[in-house]
Amino acid sequence: MTTVLRTTFALLLATVALAAAACGGDSGSVPSGAVAVVDGTEIPKSELDALVAQAKRSYEAQKQEFPKAGTPEYQSIQTQYVAYLVELEEFRQEAEELGIEVTEKDVDAAEQELIKSRFDGKRAEYVKALEAQGFTPEEYREKALEVSALSKKLFDAVTKDVQVTDAEIAEYYAQNQSQYGTPESRDVRHILIAEKNGSEVDFAASKRKADEIYSQLRGGADFAALAKAKSQDPGSKDSGGKLTISRGQTVPEFDKISFELDTGELSKPVKTQYGYHVIEAVSDVRKATTTPLDKVRAGIRAQLLQQKRNEDMQQWVEDLRKKYEGKVSYATGYAPPELPEEPTETE
């Protein structure tokens, strides 16, 4: 369960720190004791130190060596956390403008949801997993769950007007018919003969042996017994060669003959890339079915709604980055690396 918490915290970082490199201002505008200033709000170095210390404890809890200060690996961790803190402050400022406030009740709800969904409602297991990652419940509430609650409230506020129309649902249903239908199917049984010449199938030898088996079956031999004794298909031989297949599920040659046979009819040996098969149709062909739109409408609506909400949120975050261009200053040594400019087309 410890991996769950590590993943949860990493996802929270990714959710907030979507832009690793933001345009910053002059480092001289950042006071001593701060790593950055976001539109007039200082981010104390103590917040960065706390995150780095927590990361170190997490490494130690997993018996992993934490990068030494001054190494590129340490610098990378520190830079990621600074970017995270900057974007978290941007989120908080936007939340304030939107009138969003995260209460203890919101954090309680986030904690309970995590315990319910990941730990089967067992708080003791949740606390144990936290300890394995070097967290106390109080630290995790502050560093992860509060951010989770903030992110959820922002997401809900930004995407509250998103809707899915009946036309969009119908279009999706029409374009994804394969998801809502069951193809033709039937029960068959087969015996695969795949004599080998080294690592390759010896098709001539396989054909001779398959012809012999076909003759034995035509003469009244027991199919299941022959399949168990002679078939070289490990997936079906122990069940007497039985398979339930759907149209298009098997290789073309096998598929074609299997659905052409009359019920109870035995095929002559059929060549595929695997060797030669003797096939018997055991059941009638079951007709293809399609689930009506009305039965899947709610599910499609929920899927499309989440997709559109995610897209709206992503656009909001991109717009947020642009809004704060020139409003973020970093202390010397804490600015994220500059991203290369996108190449422009030349004539």
The domain segmentation of the chain, as residue ranges, is 2-162+297-330, 184-281
For 1, counting Cβ atoms within 10 Å of its Cβ (0-12 exposed, 13-18 middle, 19+ buried), the class is middle
Asked if pLDDT for residue 5 goes beyond 80, the answer is: no
pLDDT above 90 coverage of the chain, percent? 77
Q: Span 15-19, mean pLDDT?
A: 44
> Do the Cβ atoms of 23 and 325 come closer than 8 Å?
yes
CA gap 100, 29 in Å, rounded: 29
The 10s digit of each residue's pLDDT in 249-284 is: 999 999 999 999 999 999 999 999 999 999 999 999
Q: Which amino acid is at 154?
A: L
CA gap 269, 248 in Å, rounded: 20
Asked if pLDDT for residue 68 goes beyond 80, the answer is: yes
Q: Which of 51, 33, 26, 41 is nearest to 142 (CA)?
A: 51
**pTM for this entry:** 0.68
> Do the Cβ atoms of 35 and 331 come closer than 8 Å?
yes
Pick the CATH number of 184-281 from 3.10.50.40, 3.40.50.1100, 3.10.110.10, 2.60.120.10: 3.10.50.40
CA gap 29, 42 in Å, rounded: 10
Asked if pLDDT for residue 216 goes beyond 90, the answer is: yes
Q: Span 283-312, mean pLDDT?
A: 97
Q: Measure the CA dihedral 229/231/232/233, to 10°.
A: -120
Of 16 and 94, which is predicted with more confidence? Answer: 94
pLDDT in the model for residue 58: 85
Asked if pLDDT for residue 135 goes beyond 90, the answer is: no
Q: Measure the CA dihedral 258/260/264/270, to 10°.
A: -50
CA gap 137, 118 in Å, rounded: 15
CA gap 212, 183 in Å, rounded: 34
pLDDT above 70 coverage of the chain, percent? 89
What is the longest distance spanned by two Cα atoms in the chain? 96
Phi, psi of 193 (to 5 degrees): -115, 120
pLDDT band at residue 198 using 50, 70 and 90 as cut-offs: very high
CATH class of 2-162+297-330: mainly alpha
Write down the mean pLDDT value for the chain: 89
